[in-house]
Amino acid sequence: MPDLSNLKKAAAEKAVDSYVEDGMTVGLGTGSTAYFAILRVGELVAQGYKLRCVATSQQTEDIARQHGIEIADIDGVDSIDVTIDGADEIDPHLNLIKGLGGALLREKIVAAATVAEVIVADETKLVEKLGTKAPLPVEVCRFGHGKTSYGLARNGCQPTLRMKDGEPFVSDGGNYIYDCRFPDGIEKPYFMQSAIDTIPGVVECGLFLNCAVSAVIAHSDGTIEERKA
């Protein structure tokens, strides 16, 4: 796997410079690409920008604070002007799979409160059909999670309980995550989202449909492309 850090950094910085203005309320995403956006926002704060920021994970909150960014309680802000977040897959309609970083629940809550959800990514995240490269993360209640996984499997995927250090991974919300592999990708993402959302025990699904207004994609040839919904 080539080192994609330069591409992630380029996309993240371009998105912050294009979308973040003094006085805004800004959502800070989670993951190795959003990390560079947090650093850039930290630079703007150091320059004197007055921003209110909300975080999509504890990890992001910690990184932001280390870089001089104060984090507000999401319930203390009316709406979020722009959120800059990463993605695991981006299809031609800017529908997304998110959650390999384990933050899908807070990411979706923040996205739902956001006017402009801007995705930052390197070119490896682009797919023709969702579910062809990445598994679909689904956050589930710990109680009866095995039963919930049978419900997931009935939708044509192979769900695998995410592990960390030999134990099930626990999200910021205290839940487990199943990574669901679809052998032929996800044919109808909207139907799949509805089907998954109705399974008892499912807390949140990593499909982010009709959510992003823009995706800033860095390519290995040095160009940065912006795709708008």
Active-site residues, by number, are 107
When asked if residue 29 is in the footprint of ligand 5RP (CB under 6 A), the reply is: yes
Least distance in angstroms from the C-beta of 139 to ligand 5RP: 10
Q: How many CA atoms lie within 13 A of 135 on its CB side?
A: 20
When asked if residue 95 is in the footprint of ligand 5RP (CB under 6 A), the reply is: no
Q: Is the dihedral of CA 205, 211, 9, 6 positive or negative?
A: positive
Least distance in angstroms from the C-beta of 224 to ligand 5RP: 16
When asked if residue 171 is in the footprint of ligand 5RP (CB under 6 A), the reply is: no
Please select the residue that binds ligand 5RP; options are 33, 148, 193, 214, rule is CB under 6 A: 33
Q: What amino acid occupies position 186?
A: I
Q: Which is nearer to ligand 5RP, 49 or 71 (CB)?
A: 71
Would you call 227 exposed, middle or buried from its count of C-beta atoms within 10 A (0-12, 13-18, 19+)? middle
Residue 26 to residue 227: CA distance in whole angstroms: 20
Please select the residue that binds ligand 5RP; options are 13, 24, 26, 30, rule is CB under 6 A: 30
Please select the residue that binds ligand 5RP; options are 42, 101, 151, 201, rule is CB under 6 A: 101
Beta strand 114-122 with 80-85 is parallel
Residue 67's nearest CA partner among 34, 97, 100 is: 34
Residue 168's nearest CA partner among 194, 210, 140 is: 140
Please select the residue that binds ligand 5RP; options are 38, 82, 100, 180, rule is CB under 6 A: 100
Please select the residue that binds ligand 5RP; options are 15, 82, 104, 138, rule is CB under 6 A: 104
Q: Which is nearer to ligand 5RP, 46 or 163 (CB)?
A: 163
Q: Which is nearer to ligand 5RP, 81 or 107 (CB)?
A: 107
Beta strand 96-97 with 52-55 is unpaired
Q: Determine the interface stretch with ligand 5RP among 27-35, 166-174, 185-193, 217-225 (rule: CB under 6 A).
A: 27-35
Q: What is the 3-state secondary structure (H, E, C) of 61-73?
A: HHHHHHCCCCECC
Q: Which is nearer to ligand 5RP, 86 or 159 (CB)?
A: 86
Residue 105 to residue 83: CA distance in whole angstroms: 15
Please select the residue that binds ligand 5RP; options are 99, 135, 151, 159, rule is CB under 6 A: 99
Interface ranges with ligand 5RP (CB under 6 A): 29-34, 85-88, 98-104, 107
